[in-house]
Chains A and B, each alone.
Chain A
Amino acid sequence: MPIYSLFIKNNDNKTAFLPKAFNIVIAVALFMLFFLFSIKRLGMEFDFSFLWSFRYRLAQGFAATVELSLASLVVSLFLGFLSALANNSRILVISYFSKVYVQFFRGTPLIMQVYLFFYIIGTAWGVDNRFWAGVLILSIFEGAYISEIIRGGLDSIEHTQLEAARAVGLKSGQTMRLIVLPQIIKRTLPSLAGQFASIIKDSSLLSLISVIELTQTIREISASNFAIFESYIFLGLLYLTLTFPISMYTRYLESRYSYEN
Chain B
Amino acid sequence: MRIELKAVSKIFSDGNRALDNITYREDFNALAIIGPSGGGKSTLLRILGGLIEPTSGEVALNGKKICYDEKHLIQYRRKIGFVFQSKGLFNHLTARQNIILPLVNVHGYTKAGAGTTADNLLERFGLFRDRHKYPHELSGGQQQRVAIARAVAVKPKLLLLDEPTSALDPELTSEVLDMLNELRNEGLNFILVTHEMGFAKKACDKLMFIVNGRLAEYGDSEKLFTSPETEELAGFLSKVLEWNV
Contacts and interface: CB of A to CB of B under 8 A. Distances in A.
Q: Among the interface residues B74, B78, B91, B154, which one has the most CB atoms of the partner chain A within 10 A? A: B91
Interface in A239-261: 260-261
A164 interface: yes
B88 A169 contact: no
B150 A168 contact: yes
A161 B51 contact: no
Contact of A166 (B77, B90, B151): B77
B136 interface: yes
A163 interface: yes
A12 interface: no
Interface stretch (A47-55, A140-148, A179-187, A203-211): A179-187
Interface string A150-178: 00000000101101111111110010001
Interface in B17-59: 49, 51
Question: Which secondary structure characterizes the binding site on chain B?
Answer: loop
B92 A160 contact: no
Interface residues of A, number: 20
Contacts, number: 58
Contacts of A170: 102, 105-106
A163 B102 CA distance: 14
Contact of B84 (A163, A178, A179): A163
Contacts of B150: 168
A189 to B, nearest CB: 12
Interface of B: 49, 51, 74, 77-78, 80, 82, 84, 86-92, 101-102, 105-107, 134, 136, 150-151, 154
Interface of A: 158, 160-161, 163-171, 174, 178-179, 182-183, 186, 260-261
18 contacts: A158-B87, A158-B91, A160-B87, A163-B84, A165-B90, A167-B80, A167-B88, A168-B82, A168-B151, A168-B154, A169-B78, A169-B107, A170-B102, A171-B74, A179-B90, A179-B92, A183-B91, A186-B92
